[in-house]
Amino acid sequence: MTTFFDLHIHTQKYSDCSFIHPEELIAQALEAKLNGFALTEHGMRWPDEEFDKLKKIAEPHGLVLINGQEISARNEKNEMEGDFLVFGMKYSLTGRYAAAELAQLVHDQNGIIIAAHPYKLSRRGKTHYYGAGDKIYHLPIDAIELYHPDHSSLAVAKVQKAMQKLGIPGVGGSDAHKIFNVGSCVTVFENKIKNEADFVEQIRRGNVEAQKRV
């Protein structure tokens, strides 16, 4: 049984740049024919009590919610080393982490780390990215965001090349900050996902593929 997840969503509750009310996500996820979605706020994980309230709203609709976070890695010079989606952690990763340090910490806690939009172009030009870019070749990541609304065909080709060389899967996420973007890029799981443990394990095993819907 295949299942469909949007694993990169921000809400206005904990990400100032988002316009999405958390409660809106339930109806939109159903409209987008999702089986679940992940919350990946900037620099933090939802507090368990608040997350459990949203899960209780989603559960009667058959939706599985995953509590993740998006972390911006910076080196000792405070230079950007890319954005990463983190799952399986039980606390927010506050503070500054270099990319390699972040990956090690996540794996020490039995979590997974995904390079978010590694080849999303920045305003600085064709070789500058909001993501990790070619640094992904030197990091112990578990997956790479292949389909993302800001990934061009060239970016997709670069990710596919890295996936093949590194032997890790590609995933899809909308990086939604507005409600109607939810579900535009998704991750398709080969098996049914019942909880966070299933979610993490299936990505770690590579039993996923990315899909772009629009």
The CATH number of the domain holding residue 192 is 3.20.20.140
Residue 10: what pLDDT?
A: 98
When divided into structural domains, the chain yields a total of 1
**Cβ atoms of residues 186 and 204 within 8 Å:** no
Q: Note down the domain range covering 95.
A: 3-212
What tokens does 38 get? 């992940």
DSSP the chain: --EEEEEEE--TTT-TT----TTHHHHHHHHTT-SEEEEEEET----HHHHHHHHHHHGGGT-EEEEEEEEEEE-TT--EEEEEEEES-SS---S---HHHHHHHHHHTT-EEEE-STT-EETTEEEEESS-GGGGGGS--SEEEEE-TT--HHHHHHHHHHHHHHT--EEE---BSSGGGTTSEEEEESS---SHHHHHHHHHHT-EEEEE--
Question: What is the pLDDT, as a whole number, of residue 95?
Answer: 86
pLDDT at position 90: 95
Which residues of the chain fall below pLDDT 70? Answer: 123-127
What's the pLDDT tens digit per position in 114-171? 999 999 887 655 557 889 999 999 999 999 999 999 999 999 999 999 999 999 999 9
pLDDT value at residue 124: 56
State the pLDDT at residue 122: 75
pLDDT of residue 121: 86
Q: Tokens 């949007």 label which residue? A: 6
